[in-house]
Each structure stands twice: as C-alpha cells, then as structure tokens.
Structure 1
Amino acid sequence: MRSTPTPARSEALSDEAVRARADALIAQMTPQEKAGQITQYFDFLNAPEEAARVEQEVAAARAGSLLFVHDPAQLDRLQRIAVEQTRLKIPLLFGYDVIHGLRTILPVPIAIAASWDPLLAEQGQRVAAREARAVGIHWTFAPNVDIARDPRWGRMIEGAGEDPYLGSVMAAAQVRGFQGTHIGSPGRLIAGPKHFAGYGASIGGRDYDEVNLSDSELWNVYLPPFKAAVDAGAGNIMSAYMGLNGVPATGSHWLLTQVLRETWGFKGFVVTDAGSAHDLHTHEFASSVPDAGVRALRAGVDMEMAPPFGISAFQTLPQSLAEGRLSTTELDDAVRRVLEAKIRMGLFEQPYVDLDEAQRVLNDPEHRDVARVAAERTAVLLRNDGGVLPLDARALKSIAVIGPLADSARDTVGPWVFDQDDSETVTLLDGIRARAGSGVRIEYSPGVTMPARLHRSIFDSGPHKAGPRVEVDDDAEILRAVELARAADVAVLVLGEGQIMIGEHASRSSLDLPGRQQDLLDAVIATGQPVVVLLMSARPLDLKGSQPDALMGIWYPGSQGGAAVARLLFGDVSPGGKLPFNWPRNIGQIPLPYAHLRTHQPKTAEERYWNEPNSPLYPFGFGLSYSSFEFSNLQLDRSEVAVGEAIRVSVDVSNTGGREADEVAQLYIHQRHGTAARPVRELKGFERLTLAPGERRTVSFTLKPQDLTYWAASTRNFVQDATVIDVYVGGSSTAALSGSFEVR
C-alpha cells in the first residue's frame, strides 16, 4: 500500500512543544502502555513463532520499538498495527544496525577512520541514512565510538581505532551524517553512539568480558568520543553489556546519569544493548529480573532492547510500580524521552513508508559513486618496494589473482550486512578484470581454504545470510597458485580474515593469517615474481616477516570495493589513507598505543623485549603514497600563551613527486611537565590535502585551551598547566618537524 506522506520538517520543534505533546500522551497511558513504550523487541521474520509473539505485543500496545525489520512493506504493515489498532495510536520507532550502509555498503567504519577525512564519514553516513529512512527505519545503532587498543577485540572494526582525538572527530562527523541539523531532518535517522562506555578495553580483548579502567584512562581516552557525539547532537546513547570497574555499565548511575546527563547535558534517550537490562541479573548485580528492570531504569536507561526469545525486564516495571519499588515519576521520565524522539521524528504525522520513493532512493546510482570514492580514500599503502605499484596495464600481459577473499562478495562488504545482495557487490577479481581490460590475461586461484571458526558467529544465524564457502585441497591449490604466479607478470594476493572472523563475538587469540594463507604467501614470494598483497582485515595482522613487494590494507571496502581497489592498483588514484592504530610486530606487544607515557628509562624504550625491537612495525598515522611529500616552515604565531589562550600553528606541505596525490598533515603535542605526566605524543589536529605535482600549500591549525586540558588523577579534575608544549607536524605520529611554546 502506498501512502501520501506529509512533508518532513526542515526545522527542529521547540523543546516546550515537544514536551507538552509527550506529557499529554503520558497522562492518558496505563502503566502497561508506559512499559510498552520503553520496550524494544527483536523481530526476526525468519523465526515465525517469535515474530507472531512480537506482533501480538505490538497490537496490545506493549511494544514501543522494533529492530531488525528492514523490508519496507513489512515495516509499513507493522506500523499500521500500532497506529490503527492500539488505543492511543502511538507509532513504532524502528531501529536497525545501519553500521556502514543499508543497500549501498560503504567501507567498514575503521576504514573510514583510516581516510582521516571527516567529510567523507559524514557523506557516507548521509547516504546510509537516506536509504534507511526511505524504507521506514528511524534510528540506527551507530556510530560505534569505542576506543580499541587491543586488536584481539573484534569490534574494533566498528570504531575509529586507538586515538581519542581521531575517534572524537569521526564520531561527530558520523552523527552529523546520520542526523543532519536536527532530529527529524528530512531523510535522516536518530544516531545512537555506542557502547557507553569502555567496551573496547575488555580484558584480553575478549568480547563481552569485564573492563577495568583508571579514571585517567576513562576521562582522557575512552569518554571523549562519546562527549563529541553528544555535543554533535546525538539523539540516543546505547549502554554497554559489560561490567565497568565492577559495576555493569547498564546499571551504572554514575555513568548514565551523573556523567551523561548531569555533566554533559545529554537530552536524548538511552537504550540498552541486547538484553543488558535483563542481564543485570545474569551479572549477579540485581537480585531478580524485576530488580534488574528497576535498577536499569534508575541508573538512567530509558528503553530496554529486550532479549530475543527471552523475558523483558522492563515489562516487569508495572509490577514494581504497584509494589512501590518504583515511582510514577521515574517511569514517566523514561517514557517521555522515548515519546519526544518519536515526536521530533514526525512519526505521528508521517508514520508510513512511500514504497515507490523507497525503491527510487535505494537505486540511486550516486550512492554507488560515494561508496567507490570512500573505498579509494580508505586504502593504506604500507609497503611499495621498487615502486611495483601502480601497475601499468599497457605494459602487462598477465596477472595472477590469488587468495580465498579475491572473489568473495560476502567478505568484500564485511560484517554487519544483514541482507547481502551479491549483485550489488564488485569483488576484487571482478574489479581487476574490468580495469585491466581485454588485453591483459587474468588467471585466478583461491589458493587455500578459508578455515571455519571454532565457534559459530552471531552472523551465522538469525537474519544473516550465510556466505558461500570455497573449499579446496590446500596442498594442490598452493602448487597451482605458484604456477600461475610464475607464468604471470605480477601476482596479486588477496589475503586476510573472512567477515565472520571480525566484529561482534569475533575476538582472536592470534594475529596470524587464518588457515594456510601464510604458506600460500611464502610460496608465491619464493617464485621471485613481483608480489602485491591486498590485506582484507580490520585489525593488524602478523605476516611473520614475509615481505611482498607491495602491501596495501584495503579493509573490507564495501559493495564497490573491487572497482575502487582496481583503480588504486592501476594508479587512477593514489592511496592516501593512514593507519588509525599502531601496527605491532606481533601479538606479544599488545597493547601498544602510540600515546604512551615516557618512563624513567626513555633511552631503553626500544629495548623492552630482548629478542626484538619494541617499536611498532608501522606507526599510528602512517601510510605511503605514489608520490612524495615534504613538510617545512613550521611556524607558531607566538612563543608564549597564557592559560586559556589559543595558539596558531602553520606548516608548508609540498608534493615533491610526479603525480597528484593526497597527504594528511598531522599535528601532535607533548607536554613536558605538569600536574600529571602526559603521553609522549598526542594527536591534536589533522587535515587531508590533495596536491598536484610540485604544489605547496600552507596548512594552519589552532590549538585551543581544551586541546591542552586533561583529567589529572592528582586533582581528580580537568586541568590546564603552566608548562612547555612541544609541537610536531608531519605525515605520521613519528613526525620530526618540531617547535615549542610556553604556557604561562
């Protein structure tokens, strides 16, 4: 059925008008209807019994939100039940994991962070929001703004890496992309930054395990990206599953109320991660499921993402209200925040989907262009000995494309893609064939089998489509791959981790290439032919010292990934991405953040291990190009500033090579002394530039007082010291060009 939507509002409603409308509804609601409004159910359409139960809850006004429905016709049908069959006709709020696209899949979020281009992040999530809103989705459980300094943790794929400054910039950009200028902007979604807070620091990198962080780490490293997302206007925050310093995050009044609402002024609504209100009982924190519901609500949770096929803690709230363990005011506060979100989104005026418009938006070819450009700008060139890249299609007669990920559509887009359409995806093999042209012979071998997981992934079930798995005789296929490499002008190996080996429930105890990919790599390198490795991964992997001629991190490049990577290989564009984390030599070094404290033995910092250097294999902010760059003429507009004053830093960046290319100018600081010891380097500014051969440009940065302010354990507060600040500018965290100024 096609409806005639009311035009979306281009301006935000006033707080007073929204609250008055919400309060008028609350005044008519029963406790059961209130509990329903703050309960969200999973709706797995491929689980008929659960889907039928959820539909009954919607019809009985005991559900205020659903997630995982993405078919516009189904969304419309369920919305009509809520609007036309319930007493108060309150529409449903549909949420979905729109992490890096809906129909058009962009590179995974950590790849976007590697672009060091916040405008790209904003543009990409604007496309994702437009597609999702067109099909009837109102709210995304993104961006993930968790800092991750342990690459064993699989969910680092969803964030921006190890640095709070880069993470904060990318968090704010994604919120702007998803939400627009205000909640209810046409073609936009409510952004839901997650997981509040500290989830990326789980012990041993083991997903779901507890987190223990000092206050200094929390305030200086893990909380800033959330603060940036709140300041950008995020309408929702998702609480985390795990225990934080002994208290489950979903039951932490300090975190959800004192920090989020009272200190930062957050006005939106808080939703739990899946089942994590109920799980306050599982954590042995709450005495019962009803107690868990009360404690989550009182901590600051407004909506429970109820456990699928389980008992909702928030559905027990009417019982707790009747027994006097919860006040009407406490319940109403949560209901009001959820209703206000629905009102701001215009759902009462426009609850239904325009099915014709949905198809038009989903098929917009401009979205594919955005995805391709994003994949081009996210690739990080790590090695290019002898200038083997870019390839020259005019000089080549044959290319051997080898590897288990080279022709896998499912792996090319990565995880958090629930309705994979292979026809939408350009694999690496497809892209190379198309770009090389008919004059270049392309031979392909998967090389080895990608091994299965020891434990099933969450992406192996539920609404996820299983990807096809190629299985070969490894010994025989390695021999065949070697022969193809010998007969070719160049071998392009596509290696890494399959998409079910990264993401949620996908931590690893090793950074080795899975299966026998290392054997394949070494055998092909031994042929002596030029070897290019395209690494499909979202974390650093250990190649055991193997040195291909060229190594490029392509992440999981999305539905246009093959076309983008082919353009990079053949030099149509130059790689300009930079690492969003330190790349360790092996797993024994982790965690290995670049922003560490100077010890009492700085001269022996490289000697922490007797058997190998302590430095990373590739440092934070590193990435090569097909051109070369020079930084010069570092200028500070003054040598002294007072506490509370800003200072301007400028530097000249020159393209000293022979082709147009991108460089990222990066500004780092180091505080020499103060109330607390500070890291040896901290990122405080960056700008990505496109420069023609021989072009020079001056880049300016402003260091504001907040850039020099930090949380000190000795005062248990934020401070800015009178001190000396060293400034470094260059193309990575090892930048040598430096200056200094004094803060009086």
Structure 2
Amino acid sequence: MAEMSIEEKIGQLNLPVGGDVVSGTAQAAVLDSLIMQGKIGGFFNVKGVDAVARFQRLAVEKGPHSIPLLVGADVVHGYETVFPIPLALSCSWDSTAIAEMARISAIEATADGVNWNYSPMVDICRDPRWGRIAEGSGEDPYLGSVLAQAYVHGYQGDGMRSDSSLMACVKHYALYGAAEGGRDYNGVDMSRECMFNYYMPPYKAAADAGVGSVMTSFNLINGQHATASEWLINGVLRNDWDFDGFVVTDYGSIDELPIMGVADKEDAAAVTLRAGTDMDMVTGRYLNDLKCALERGQVTEKMIDDACRRILTAKQQLGLFDDPYKYCKPERLAKDMYTPRHRKIARDIAAETFVLLKNDKHLLPLQKKGRIALIGPLANAANNMSGTWSGYCKHENQKSLLEAFRDALGTDAELLYTQGSNIYYDETTQQNCDWGRSIARGNDDEMHRQAIEIANKADIIICALGESAEMSGESSSRAEITIPDTQRDLLKQLYATGKPVILLLFTGRPLVLDWEDNHIPAILNVWFGGSEAADAIADVVFGEKVPSGKLTTTWPRSIGQIPLYYNHLPSSHPDFDSTQ
C-alpha cells in the first residue's frame, strides 16, 4: 500500500468484463493494457485456465507491484457438472448435500482458473412472478440462513488456502427478492421490522460464516439505492454485523444511480465509495472519476485506501500473493472436471429435490412394461435440462429425457415419443425465452394431432411440460405463472383420451396449477435438475429412487393471492384470510 500511487489504488477497485461467456465483451488489447498499467483489480466471464493464466502473467510479471488478479464467475449451481437450480436444492432441506454441491462447484471452477464466485444468492422471495426466485432458497429466513452458510463453507473450504478454495460472494445485498410486483430490478419499500425479521437473516448468516465478499443489489430500498446506501453497507453490514470482507457492485449498477435520481452522473462514484462499496463492476466510474472526486474533496484518500486494502486482503486470503498461479494448473482439468464421481453426486442430489405434488392411486412409480408415451416440448430438449445460470456446462454432453428413458427401459417396455407442442403458440414469445437454448418449432395443430395419435396407442402418458430453462432467472419475470398456453391445451387433450396421465413439471418457480390439480392424477415437479437431470428423473419415475423434495415456497391457487407465504401475520378476520 505504501508503494502504490493513488491511480494504482483506484485501479484495484476496477472490475471489467474479461470475456463473453455470459454478459459482455472486452477487446483483448485494451484489457491487456489496463492490466499492465495496474488499472484492474480483477475481471470476470473468462472461460478457460489458459486465458486466465495469460491475464495473471500480465498482472504479475508486467504490472506494477506484481499484484495478482481476482477472477470472477457466476457458478450458481455448478460449473461443468451442473446441479439442480438453487430453489430446487432448497427443497432437499439437506444442508450437507448443498455444501457438497458447493465444494464440487469450487473444485471444478478453480480447476479452470476461477477464484471468486458470485454465489450464493440468498434473497428471500415471496412473489413467484419474480424470475430470480429460481436462484434462491425460498421464503423461509431460517432455512435460507442455514443454506447460506452451507454454500459459503462449501465454496470457501477451510480458510481459503487450498487450490480448490473459491471465494464466495453473497448476493444481492439487500432485499432484491422483495422487488415490488415481482418485476425484476424494481424498488422496495419495507418496514425495518419486516426487513430484519424476514429478509435480512440469510445475509447476516453468510457474513457470520465468513463470506469473503458481498455484492450489492440493483434496487432502491426506501428511496436509497442499495449500492450507495451508507446505512446498509457501512452501518448494518460492517458496523453491526462485523463483516470485514469487501463489497462489489452488481453489473453496472453505479451507472443506474443517475437514472434513479440518487446522484448526478459525475457524483455517482463518490457517493458509492462513501457508502462503503469497494469495487465497481463494469462501469469504469471508479477508474475514471474517483481521482477527480478526491481532488474536489468528495472522498478522502483514506476511503480509497480502505477499499483497496480490503481487496488486497482478499487476494492475500486466497493465497495469490504466495502463488499467483495457484489457480492456473491445466493438469487439474482432466482430474477434476465433470468426473464420474461428481456426476453421480449430482444425479443423487437431484432426486432429493424432486417434489411429488400429487400421486392419486399410486400411479408412480411406473413399472417397466407395456407401451409408454413420452410427450412434450421438454422431453427431447437436453439443452434445457440444466436450467438458468448454467453457462459453463457443455450441453452437448447432457442427455435428453427421451434418451434417459430409452436407456432405463431397454427392451422391457415400448417407448413412444412425439414433441406434442411448442413452448408457446406465439413464436416471438418463445424466442424471447430461448437465450440460446432453442426448442424446435412446428405447427401446433399438427403436433397436437400427432400427440393424440401416439397417446391412443399407449397404456400410459408421460407429459414433459412447463417452463423452458430461461423462463426463470434474471430478467425473466412473468405476469402469468401458469403452464404456457399451447402446452396446457395439449395436456387437456391428452387427459381427454381417458388414459392415465403423469405430468413431469419443469419450472424455476411455483406455478398456478388449478386445472392440473383438479384433473391430472400424478404431478412430479422436477424443477431443472442439472446436467444429470434426465437420468435422475428416470430413476424416480421407474422407482429406483424416491422423490424426497418438500416445497420451500408456497404455490398459489390464483395469481390474485400473490404475495402468498406461510409465515404471514394473522388478519383480524381469519375467515377472509388470503390463504382461504
């Protein structure tokens, strides 16, 4: 610190995108130059240990003071071995399994050069219209707190000293899951009583578990932006909870302060630093504006020093000053990535997350005999099995449900298949949900007709329906949380055949299933089960494993009931309570 210039200290607070895995690009020459000038503290979204090693060499061998880089990634529920989405994992109620999931995620991510993970997301959510409910642990603050600590311990290991230790970043601080109306990025207006009793405990639990970093949220909280709230960051997080790690913004959030009327554009960096946010993700505001803010007296050099010191301390805790290349060992890839052991654990955990919502007359499990019809747009969609936030896996290595059922049945039963429908009738609506994971489209009337033809030949019908993978997650709020139109029409037509119908429900959120509950005899909610989802579903459907998941979010009978949650306070007229 004593040897660093003010420009170099500010450089440690700058976090640009380093690649194009998920959400951005950066020209290599520009990034290289910034690294060698000491104007970057870390980067994210770079895939591959060789690429990471090249950047690290530039920082250590050509940059001032040989300061290594943080390398971030969104390893939300697995790296190449993908586990069920976090909402599904919470339904296992198995903190040991979730810690094991996090440990395997850390092993694989660090083998590919990553040392910092933007997970766990611990936001409590009571509104299933919000797409990012898929990334959290449901509506209960106690369970959310227990699982937050399991994630942190799994990622960081014992003291973050091994070469498979991955620094965790708890997000989104704070109250992001309470966005008004379930609309992503929306504001929050909340009493302190509600805030600290129901929403804040998981963040505190993560801090108590020693999480290395915290990410601020995009939203306004009672009129203050979370990224620039001194009460929230320096007050609650640091002073009240004794958090001693560093705080990073979410993607580009400093640039949102002027849009939301919190600060002028030229003041946004100063306001954010004063609040206690140490690192700027993407905007470059700290890099470009903080020195001028210092000269104007808007910030002090001590504020810059404190932020820089916290980031350098994190690098020291990861052991990067002792060995800048501890996460750049290509030989680990063959040993640690997508191993048979990791895949088996992912397959076993998936069965713990599946929730048997209904099973009249013990229709499940099925015997391997007769003619079984497998119908639905999710039945032959291997690229959708892993769910949202699985950008580091290789979808081509994953099975579709159709392939898994064929493998499970062998010659014991005849499997009939047809797609049956699109995701939506409207092509544009379906394309907007794809995010690169398209499902083939056809004529709905013709596909419905073919489905009825196949169903009439079968002894039992299995429908693979629901949301596609990216219909939940970031920027994926839904006003109507039912099974999409053409799929629901298909289900009604298949029910009308009089054959027994099993619904395998793919979803990243609770859905309104009024008609389905009244008519379909067996409903197995399989969420999005990860890279081994297809085999795991086959294990459960054919009785090799028991679906042991229990819901962690309330499923409404009507959209008009939302927000709906189990731990609500009693009303003065219980006969007219919203749960009736």
Please state which band the TM-score falls in when normalised by the shorter chain.
over 0.9
Partners of 2:49 and 2:4 lie apart in 1 by 29
Q: Which SS does the other structure have where 2:150 is aligned?
A: helix
Shift in Å, 1:150: 0.3
Give the structure with the larger strand fraction: 1
> Is the 8 Å Cα contact of residues 250 and 296 (structure 1) preserved in structure 2?
yes
Q: Which SS does the other structure have where 1:34 is aligned?
A: helix
Partners of 1:138 and 1:424 lie apart in 2 by 25
Which residue is equivalent to 2:276? Answer: 300
1:433-466 CA distances to partner (integer Å, 9 max, x unpaired)? 1111222111111111123564986983xxxxx2
Which residue is equivalent to 1:431? Answer: 404
Give the one of 312, 326, 331 matched to 2:285: 312
Which residue is equivalent to 2:486? Answer: 516
Partners of 2:429 and 2:367 lie apart in 1 by 42
Which residue is equivalent to 1:418? Answer: 391
Which one-letter code corresponds to 1:582 in the other structure? T
Partners of 1:192 and 1:87 lie apart in 2 by 27
Give the one of 352, 361, 377 matched to 2:336: 361
Which residue is equivalent to 2:116? Answer: 139
> Is the 8 Å Cα contact of residues 413 and 558 (structure 1) preserved in structure 2?
yes
Which residue is equivalent to 1:272? Answer: 249
1:247-646 equivalences under 5 Å are 247-289=224-266, 291-307=267-283, 311-352=284-325, 353-393=328-368, 396-451=369-424, 454=429, 460=435, 466-546=436-516, 547-602=519-574, 604-605=575-576, 614-615=579-580
Partners of 1:456 and 1:424 lie apart in 2 by 24
Which residue is equivalent to 1:21? Answer: none
Shift in Å, 1:365: 1.4
1:326-360 CA distances to partner (integer Å, 9 max, x unpaired)? 21111000000000000110112222211111232
1:282-320 CA distances to partner (integer Å, 9 max, x unpaired)? 22211223x11111111110111123xxx4344311221
Shift in Å, 1:428: 1.6
1:587-628 CA distances to partner (integer Å, 9 max, x unpaired)? 1110111111112222x145x5xxxxx34xxxxxxxxxxxxx
Which one-letter code corresponds to 2:14 in the other structure? T
Shift in Å, 1:76: 0.8
1:200-219 equivalences under 5 Å are 200-219=177-196
> Is the 8 Å Cα contact of residues 249 and 255 (structure 1) preserved in structure 2?
yes
Which one-letter code corresponds to 2:99 in the other structure? E
Which residue is equivalent to 2:154? Answer: 177
Give the one of 127, 139, 155 matched to 2:104: 127
Which one-letter code corresponds to 1:593 in the other structure? Y
Q: Which SS does the other structure have where 1:194 is aligned?
A: strand
In structure 2, the CA distance between the partners of 1:148 and 1:571, relative to structure 1 (3 Å rule), is same
1:90-129 equivalences under 5 Å are 90-129=67-106
C-alpha root-mean-square deviation of aligned residues, in Å? 1.7
> Is the 8 Å Cα contact of residues 277 and 313 (structure 1) preserved in structure 2?
no
Shift in Å, 1:499: 1.4
Partners of 1:171 and 1:247 lie apart in 2 by 25
Partners of 1:398 and 1:456 lie apart in 2 by 34
Partners of 2:504 and 2:485 lie apart in 1 by 17
Partners of 2:185 and 2:330 lie apart in 1 by 39
Q: Which SS does the other structure have where 2:173 is aligned?
A: coil
Structure 2 unaligned segments of length 5 or more: list them. Answer: none
Shift in Å, 1:49: 5.7
Which one-letter code corresponds to 2:544 in the other structure? D
Shift in Å, 1:524: 0.6
Partners of 2:140 and 2:392 lie apart in 1 by 32
Partners of 2:549 and 2:428 lie apart in 1 by 30
Which residue is equivalent to 2:176? Answer: 199
Shift in Å, 1:117: 0.6
Which residue is equivalent to 2:201? Answer: 224
In structure 2, the CA distance between the partners of 1:31 and 1:98, relative to structure 1 (3 Å rule), is same
Which one-letter code corresponds to 2:523 in the other structure? L
Partners of 2:573 and 2:25 lie apart in 1 by 63
Partners of 2:176 and 2:433 lie apart in 1 by 18
| Alignment TM-score, normalising by the size of structure 2 | 0.96
> Is the 8 Å Cα contact of residues 458 and 504 (structure 1) preserved in structure 2?
no
Partners of 1:530 and 1:492 lie apart in 2 by 9
> Is the 8 Å Cα contact of residues 13 and 278 (structure 2) preserved in structure 1?
yes
Which one-letter code corresponds to 2:405 in the other structure? I
> Is the 8 Å Cα contact of residues 355 and 550 (structure 2) preserved in structure 1?
yes
Partners of 1:246 and 1:64 lie apart in 2 by 31
Shift in Å, 1:54: 2.2
> Is the 8 Å Cα contact of residues 13 and 286 (structure 2) preserved in structure 1?
no
Q: Which SS does the other structure have where 1:439 is aligned?
A: coil
1:655-666 equivalences under 5 Å are none
> Is the 8 Å Cα contact of residues 17 and 26 (structure 2) preserved in structure 1?
no
Partners of 1:202 and 1:502 lie apart in 2 by 15
> Is the 8 Å Cα contact of residues 351 and 537 (structure 2) preserved in structure 1?
yes
> Is the 8 Å Cα contact of residues 179 and 185 (structure 1) preserved in structure 2?
no
> Is the 8 Å Cα contact of residues 292 and 313 (structure 1) preserved in structure 2?
no
Shift in Å, 1:227: 0.8
Shift in Å, 1:53: 2.3
| Alignment TM-score, normalising by the size of structure 1 | 0.75
Shift in Å, 1:96: 0.2
> Is the 8 Å Cα contact of residues 377 and 439 (structure 2) preserved in structure 1?
no
Larger Rg: 1
Partners of 2:544 and 2:366 lie apart in 1 by 10
Partners of 2:434 and 2:32 lie apart in 1 by 24
Structure 1 unaligned segments of length 5 or more: list them. Answer: 1-25, 461-465, 609-613, 616-744
Give the one of 73, 81, 85 matched to 2:58: 81
1:470-490 CA distances to partner (integer Å, 9 max, x unpaired)? 101111111111121121121
Partners of 2:50 and 2:294 lie apart in 1 by 37
1:402-459 CA distances to partner (integer Å, 9 max, x unpaired)? 1111111221101112244123212222221111122211111111112356498698
Which residue is equivalent to 2:45? Answer: 68
Q: Which SS does the other structure have where 1:88 is aligned?
A: helix
Partners of 1:459 and 1:43 lie apart in 2 by 24
1:369-425 CA distances to partner (integer Å, 9 max, x unpaired)? 1110111110000000010000011xx222111111111122110111224412321
Q: Which SS does the other structure have where 1:413 is aligned?
A: coil
Shift in Å, 1:157: 0.4
Which residue is equivalent to 1:738? Answer: none
> Is the 8 Å Cα contact of residues 160 and 580 (structure 1) preserved in structure 2?
yes
Partners of 2:40 and 2:349 lie apart in 1 by 38
Q: Which SS does the other structure have where 2:66 is aligned?
A: coil
1:26-80 CA distances to partner (integer Å, 9 max, x unpaired)? 1111111111101100122487763432222112211111000121111111111
Partners of 1:54 and 1:467 lie apart in 2 by 30
Q: Which SS does the other structure have where 2:470 is aligned?
A: helix
Partners of 1:51 and 1:439 lie apart in 2 by 55
Partners of 1:98 and 1:49 lie apart in 2 by 21
Q: Which SS does the other structure have where 1:532 is aligned?
A: strand
> Is the 8 Å Cα contact of residues 212 and 244 (structure 1) preserved in structure 2?
yes
